[in-house]
Amino acid sequence: MRSSFHGGRERAGRRCGRWHAGRVTSPQVPQRPAVQSLPAYVPGARADLGRAHKLSSNENPFPPLPSVRDAVARAAGALNRYPDMFATELVEALAAKHHVEAGSIVAGCGSVAVLGHVLQGFCDAGDEVVHAWRSFEAYPILVQLQGAVSVPVPLTVDGRHDLPAMAAAVTERTRVMLVCSPNNPTGPAIGHAELLELLAAVPERVLVVLDEAYVEFVRSEDPIDSEQVLAAHPNVVVLRTFSKAYGLAALRVGYAVTHPDLARAVRTASTPFGVNHLAQVAAMASLEAEGELAERVEAVVAERERVAERLRAQGWGLPESQANFVWLPTADRTVDLASAAARQGVLVRPFAGEGMRISIGEAAANDRVLELTRAWGGA
Ligand SMILES: *Cc1c(COP(=O)(O)O)cnc(C)c1O
């Protein structure tokens, strides 16, 4: 399928533009096969339906904190200036948070963009990137855009990374391994001990990217201590985002933590001024309000536990989610059930033939979900 992150909008723009006049012949410019054959990035359905519950993109259901909103409003007076190119204040605050030097942090326009810059920094054409599948759908797209080759390793039956199989998939051509914990879209987190075993089995020349987009929601017994991992393994990059627990999805800010030598390569590949001024200000204000934000994360975790327990009581077999979403194994019924849910005002993220990812929202939204799943019957 020919598509991309932006496919839909490009087509819409073309319809409205002057090219539509019909005087222009088709372009003869060849396109890269890697781009033409890209899988579609399917964004979560948007809530145009007015009162719909939008549970399709794993966003934070809470509106921004007043302190964050005020900081952004004040910063709006300086929009005529370029932002601080290196997001200096934010980078310093993040370095302090993670107990590393500022040279270890690279901020970018969402952690997806940072991951793209990581791949640009370390992969040449034909290099292999090992990752679990199904996992975050941006992975194969970013890998292919870079001209590298995706090596997907199937999840276990309970939706976990098969770490021994991932280690076994490493070849001479492997440059990067992507590890997503908790895994989007299934939810399980990797344990600290298992991760250390993986790192011991993977050659040190392979860059291991640990994508921790949902780390704030983890309540498992052996959570990954990424600070310790980074200190012991100079081939690791940790990715974090302000889009989920911090509730700043609209502003696009994420970052990498890694050895300063590797950080330099990621910085070199980064878009200049990639973190806009409002995003820098909002991220700073959010770091100052971490206590308040943590209470909201606790509320989401409590709802996740309630929803998972109720779903199991309804007869659904679920992977153990440590994120702000649950995975419902609806198999062949997925598309029909997701459409039915949308008609009833609940937007979920279907994966045809496999299952659906349902974000944890406010209690009322979660109650609606539980009514629907009860009517659908467990699986
Ligand atoms: C949501 C998500 C991200 C965050 O992306 P941003 O670009 O920072 O909004 C990264 N990785 C995974 C696995 C995600 O689900």
If one residue of 241, 246, 252 were mutated to test the ligand 1 pocket, choosing by the most ligand atoms within 8 A of its CB, it would be 241
pLDDT at 43: 75
Q: Name residues whose C-beta falls within 8 Å of residue 324's C-beta, 6 or more positions apart in sequence.
A: 58, 60, 214, 217, 244, 245, 300, 301, 304, 359, 360
State residue 357 phi and psi, 5-degree precision.
Answer: -100, 130
Instruction: Give pLDDT, residue 9.
Output: 46
Residue ranges lining ligand 1, Cβ < 6 Å: 58, 110-112, 136, 180, 184, 211, 213, 241, 243-244, 249, 254
**53-62+291-376 with 66-288: one CATH topology?**
no
* Measured distance CA(135)–CA(179) in Å, rounded: 9
Instruction: Note whether 144 and 34 are within 8 A (CB).
Output: yes
SS (HEC) of 292-331: HHHHHHHHHHHHHHHHHHHHHHCCCCCCCCCCCEEEECCH
Concatenated DSSP letters of 91-153: HHHHHHHHTS-GGGEEEESHHHHHHHHHHHHH--TT-EEEEEESS-THHHHHHHHTT-EEEEE
**Which residue minimizes the CA distance to atom 12 of ligand 1?**
213
What does the alpha-carbon distance between residue 190 and residue 182 come to, in Å, rounded to a whole number? 7
3-state secondary structure of 48: coil
209: which strand partners? Answer: 178, 237
Paired tokens of 121: 């920094």
236's enclosing H/E stretch is strand 236-241
Question: Which residue owns the Cα nearest ligand 1 atom 2?
Answer: 213
The residue whose CA is least distant from atom 11 of ligand 1 is 213
CA quadruple 277, 278, 279, 283: dihedral sign: positive
What does the pLDDT profile of the chain (379 residues) look like in tens digits? 344 555 444 444 455 555 555 668 889 999 999 888 887 777 777 766 567 999 999 999 999 999 999 999 999 999 999 999 999 999 999 999 999 999 999 999 999 999 999 999 999 999 999 999 999 999 999 999 999 999 999 999 999 999 999 999 999 999 999 999 999 999 999 999 999 999 999 999 999 999 999 999 999 999 999 999 999 999 999 999 999 999 999 999 999 999 999 999 999 999 999 999 999 999 999 999 999 999 999 999 999 999 999 999 999 999 999 999 999 999 999 999 999 999 999 999 999 999 999 999 999 999 999 999 999 986 6
C-alpha–C-alpha distance, residues 39 and 333, integer Å = 22
CA of 237 to the centre of ligand 1 (A): 15
Fold of 53-62+291-376: Aspartate Aminotransferase, domain 1 (3.90.1150)
pLDDT tens-place string over residues 269-319: 999 999 999 999 999 999 999 999 999 999 999 999 999 999 999 999 999
Which candidate, 142, 80, 113, 160, places its Cα nearest to that of 323?
160
Distance, C-alpha 31 to centroid of its chain = 28
DSSP 8-state symbol, 250? T
**Ligand 1, closest atom to CA 253?**
8
Residue 122 CA to residue 175 CA, distance in Å, equals: 7
Residue 12: C-alpha distances to residues 9, 16, 38, 46, 315 (Å) = 5, 7, 19, 16, 43
Place of tokens 């209470």: 295
Q: How many CA atoms lie within 13 A of 37 on its CB side?
A: 7
Q: Which atom of ligand 1 is nearest to the CA of 111?
A: 8
Residue with tokens 């309540």: 219
pLDDT tens profile 221-252: 999 999 999 999 999 999 999 999 999 999 99
Name, in order, each residue with C-beta under 8 angstroms of 29's C-beta and a sequence gap of 6 or more.
none
> How does DSSP classify residue 216?
G
The domains of the chain are located at 53-62+291-376, 66-288
Q: For 255, what's the count of Cα atoms within 13 Å in the CB-facing half-sphere? A: 24
Give the whole-angstrom CA distance, residue 129 versus residue 151. Answer: 6
Domain 66-288 fold: Aspartate Aminotransferase; domain 2 (3.40.640)
